[in-house]
Amino acid sequence: MNSMKRIIFHIDQNCYFASVEMISRPELRNVPMAVAGDAKARHGIILAKNEPAKKYGIKTAEAIWQAQSKCPDLVLVDAHHEKYVFYSKKLREMYSEYTDLVEPFGLDECWLDMTGITADYDEAERIALEIRNRVKEEFKLTCSVGISFNKVFAKLGSDYKKPDATTVFSDSDWQEKIWPLPVSDLLFVGKHTAEKLAKINVMTIGDLAGTDCGFISRYLGKNGVVLWEYANGLDDAPVAEAGFKRIPKSVGNSTTTPEDMTSDRQIEKTFHLLSESVAERLRKHNLKGTVVQITVRDRDLRIYEKQRILYKPTDDATVIFSAAKELFKESYDWSKGVRSIGVRCTKLVGCDSGEQLSLFPDMQVPERDSRLNKAIDDINRRYGGSVIKSAAEAEPVSKKRYGSGVASDPFHPEDDFQ
């Protein structure tokens, strides 16, 4: 008996943040507009832009001043994350009317498994058009839809033609359409990987597909094998059920301070805040980290990362902070001020996965510390915000030093899950 032919959709909202902002401000639809971070807090980058702004060459993640140099009349709009989450949830609810297999990929993208729901690619195109029309009529947004027999090619299809378009890569014509595309178009081929592949004259997806798998494995490691399989149409990853929550591979938090940090005390205070946040979210997900990693960016925007394997998995802020502090002291020589830092726990394990007991009392986290952390989390969840703060968080912060930052939260940390 032959297995049923897979039909996978990938739906990508066009210019999502900017499009959501234009729902309440339709006058911005025909002028160059961008959603931007807070320049005063030094989060001054472009987060999203509309179609008129794209025509000026404005790109996501470039500095505000760069975008304004391309388009002096660019209208900048503040980001409203709660709006983006709201519309994202409503869109997923609509997709769930077609299938119960709806897997988010960020706020503005989703995979839908339409296998067995659509008879063939022609019917799939008709349903994609219906979804696109509903998105316009019900939400005043637009989306592009990619249709193929696996998730990777479906996503490639949604990127292929924008805005408000449908692209099909069927199981009979995908090679002639996909293999000529730049290898950088393939999912998870970033700038660094594309540059490395270019050194061996792998410029297109077809070049990668035709390269010996064993050689790619030796050249790029196990990730190279995955990319080779993608290029050859061998992705068979399932689409998760609607409501499925992916277990994060890492939990991190970073911040850019209003002014460069120039002392160990400033760094330690910021590490305290970030470590508290990371530890709290680890406990929320019933996870512990076995590796602590720090990221440091100096005033010249040079970045370096250091990491350390912990003796035992942890969700305790004190342990995370101590590791982060030591990593920084071991490797930073204070030749320049620090613009931003981040703390991340990786190689996560479940809280019930067991752990090796230590022969040394000072390596053990007392049971009362675990109970205390849980009690603090429960109180903060019950009464909202951070009712109970660590001493580092509660310490007053000079407005002169931190500008417009609020004393209890001067850094506006940026949460990061992967």
Query: Which residues are known catalytic residues?
Result: 109
Write the single-letter amino acid at 333: D
How far, CA to CA in Å, does 270 sit from each of 266, 276, 393? 6, 10, 9
Burial of 387 (0-12, 13-18, 19+ CB in 10 A): exposed
Nearest residue to 314 via CA among 363, 362, 274, 272: 363
The answer to whether 7 touches 47, Cβ cutoff 8 Å, is no
Beta bridge pairs of residue 46:
36
Pairing of the two strands 143-148 and 166-169: parallel
Please count the other Cβ atoms lying within 10 Å of the Cβ belonging to residue 29.
Answer: 15
Q: Where are the alpha helices (DSSP H) in 74-221?
A: 81-95, 121-139, 151-160, 174-178, 191-198, 205-210, 213-220
Q: Which residues contact 46 (CB under 8 A, 6 or more apart)?
A: 34, 35, 36, 58, 59, 60, 61, 62, 63, 64, 67
DSSP readout, 239-266? Answer: PPPTT--PPPSEEEEEEEEEEEE-SHHH
Is residue 47 within 8 Å of residue 107, measured between CB atoms?
no
d(CA 210, CA 197): 13
Sole residue written with tokens 């019933």: 286
Tokens 């401000």 belong to residue? 25
Contact indicator for 92, 50 with CB cutoff of 8 Å: no
Angle of helix 191-198 versus helix 213-220 axis, rounded to 10? 120
CA distance 352 to 342: 27
Quote the Cα angle for 211-215-220, to 5°: 100
122: Cα separation from own chain's centroid: 33
